[in-house]
Structures are given as C-alpha cells and as structure tokens.
C-alpha cells in the first residue's frame, strides 16, 4: 500500500485469528476509527507467530474499499479490490452501530445481508452464510433428522432400519399409493441427506 491523498490517514492494526479465518469485524473497525471516510488503514493477521495476511482498507462515504492479494495456487498471487457497503442503525439511547452489507452473490442473487463480520475464507471477504461457516452442528442435526425419517419409513414397512439394506417391498394389505408415497418420502430424505453432506464437504474445503 502506498501513497496517501490529502486528508487521508494511514493506520495499522494487528489482529489475531483464533478461529483460523481472516475476518473483519465492523465494530472493531469502528472502534479503531477505521470507518471514518478518508481513512486509509491496514490490518495484518497473525496466527501465533505466523503472518497469514494483510489487507488495506480505504474508508469512503458509505463504503469500504478492501485491497489485498490472494493466493490462487501454484505460488501465484492475484490483487483483489473489493467494495463493501456500510449501513448504520441508530440505538435507542443515542449512538449508532455499523454493519457490513455482504457483497456476496450466490447463484446470481446478491446476498446483501447486514452482518457484523466478513470472512476471508476464499477469494473475497463475505459473510458466514455465503461461506457456510460455523453451521456444521446444524448440518449434523439435519442429517440425523433425515436419517430418522428414512429409518421410520423402513420400520413402518416392516423392513430393517439399516440404510445399507435394500428398500423394503410393499407389505401385504398396504395400498400402492401409500407405499409409493412413503417410498418417495424416503428417497427425498436420502437426496436431502446427500445435499447436506455435500454442503458440509464443500464448507470444509474453506477451512
Ligand atoms: Zn453473504
């Protein structure tokens, strides 16, 4: 980072990453004065003794411009400039607190969530929803619920609850409609289970 225009400050902060991610906390930046328009600051992340990254932050009216370099594999580095909008909410007893508006885009839909933290888990600094961080316990709950749905259906059809066994045939006396409805429900639970598993694996690539 070089250069300083008239009226711009250059400040520097050091932030330790305990959770393994480079993250930006808008309240921390605010307390440090880094959000004031015209400020030009930088943050250096350390994990223990290891220097894991730097970022330059230019505060403009209503937004921050983040400038950093991102490893793209094979020792190549890419310069990234990312613009993040800020939003403020006013508190009952005076004062105001800042929020980032997440600049993420998923499947063509802008995220635009109002969040306190952005994570540098991939190329861009995005919110936890965009990066699927910290939701592993929820995914586990979802997976065990989906497994139970499938096991209950198998039990109801008089089969084994083991998902490794073939799906039970239609019991005598059960309507085909009922059987097919249950079979579809079990298949859907299986598909959902796989989708959740895929999400978990994908999220772990970021960790
Ligand atoms: Zn987001």
Per-residue pLDDT of the chain (207 residues; tens, 9 = 90+): 333 332 233 334 544 443 456 789 999 999 999 999 999 999 888 777 777 778 999 999 999 999 998 766 667 788 999 999 999 998 877 788 999 999 998 778 898 999 988 988 778 899 877 876 545 666 777 878 888 898 999 999 998 888 777 889 999 999 999 999 999 999 888 888 877 777 766 665 543
Q: Is 3 contained in some domain?
A: no
| Alpha carbons 65 and 57: distance in angstroms, whole number | 6
Q: Is residue 32 part of a domain?
A: yes
Q: Which pLDDT belongs to residue 94?
A: 79
- Number of Cβ within 10 Å of residue 150's Cβ equals 20
In a domain, 121, yes or no: yes
Ligand 1 center from residue 110 Cα (angstroms): 8
Distance 43 CA to ligand 1 centre (A): 21
The pLDDT, as a whole number, for residue 65 is 97
Would you state the pLDDT for residue 132?
Answer: 66
> Within this chain, do residues 111 and 70 fall inside the same structural domain, yes or no?
yes
> Residues 104, 33: one domain?
yes
Same domain, 36 and 58: yes
Q: Which residue has the tokens 């635009």?
A: 112
Residue after which a domain boundary falls, among 72, 97, 131: 131
Q: How far is the CA of 106 from the centre of ligand 1 (A)?
A: 8
Do residues 110 and 175 share a domain? no
Task: Indicate if 24 and 122 belong to the same structural domain.
Answer: yes
Q: Is 35 in the same domain as 125? A: yes
Whether residue 182 sits in one domain with residue 119:
no
Cα separation, 60 vs 35, whole angstroms: 8
In a domain, 2, yes or no: no
> Is 141 within a domain?
yes
Q: Indicate the pairing of strand 39-47 with strand 50-60.
A: antiparallel
CB 151 within 8 A of CB 163: yes
* Burial letters 55-64, b for 16+ CB under 10 A, else e: bbbbbeeebb
Q: How far is CA 88 from CA 41, 101, 126, 192, in A?
A: 20, 10, 18, 38
- Indicate whether 18 and 102 sit together in one domain: yes
Q: What is the pLDDT of residue 154?
A: 92
Count of residues making up the chain: 207
Beta carbons within 8 Å of 102's beta carbon, 6+ residues apart: 84, 111, 112, 113, 114, 115, 118, 126, 127, 129, 130
pLDDT of res. 58: 97
Residue 63 lies in a domain: yes
Please give the residue range of the domain that contains residue 159.
Answer: 136-205
Angle made by CA atoms 117, 118, 120, in degrees to the nearest 5: 140
Number of structural domains found in the chain: 2
For residue 11, the model assigns a pLDDT of 39
- 41 and 11 Cβ atoms separated by less than 8 Å: yes
Q: How far is ligand 1, taken at its centre, from the CA of residue 197, in Å?
A: 21
Are both 48 and 144 inside the same structural domain?
no
Residue 88 belongs to some domain of the structure: yes
| C-alpha of residue 37 to centroid of ligand 1, in Å | 24
| Domain match, 142 and 118 both | no
Say yes or no: 102 and 140 in one domain: no
**Tokens standing for 137?**
């316990």
Residue 111 CA, ligand 1 centroid: distance in Å: 5
Q: How far apart are CA 166 and CA 67, in angstroms?
A: 55
């Amino acid at each position: 980072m070089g250069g300083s225009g008239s009226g711009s400050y250059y400040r520097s902060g050091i932030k330790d990453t305990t959770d393994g991610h480079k993250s930006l906390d808008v309240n921390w930046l605010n307390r440090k004065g880094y959000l004031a328009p015209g400020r030009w600051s930088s943050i250096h992340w350390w994990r223990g003794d290891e220097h894991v990254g730097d970022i330059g932050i230019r505060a403009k009216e209503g937004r921050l411009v983040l400038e950093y370099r991102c490893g793209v594999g094979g020792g190549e580095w890419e310069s990234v400039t990312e613009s993040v909008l800020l939003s403020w909410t006013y508190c009952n007893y005076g004062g105001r607190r800042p929020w980032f508006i997440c600049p993420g885009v998923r499947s063509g839909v802008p995220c635009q969530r109002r969040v306190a933290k952005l994570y540098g888990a991939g190329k861009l600094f995005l919110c936890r929803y965009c990066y699927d961080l910290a939701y592993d316990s929820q995914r586990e709950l979802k997976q065990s619920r989906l497994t139970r749905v499938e096991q209950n259906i198998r039990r109801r059809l008089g089969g084994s609850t083991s998902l490794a066994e073939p799906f039970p045939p239609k019991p005598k006396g059960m309507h085909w409609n009922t059987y097919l409805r249950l079979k579809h429900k079990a298949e859907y639970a299986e598909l959902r289970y796989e989708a959740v598993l895929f999400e978990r694996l994908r999220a772990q690539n970021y960790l």
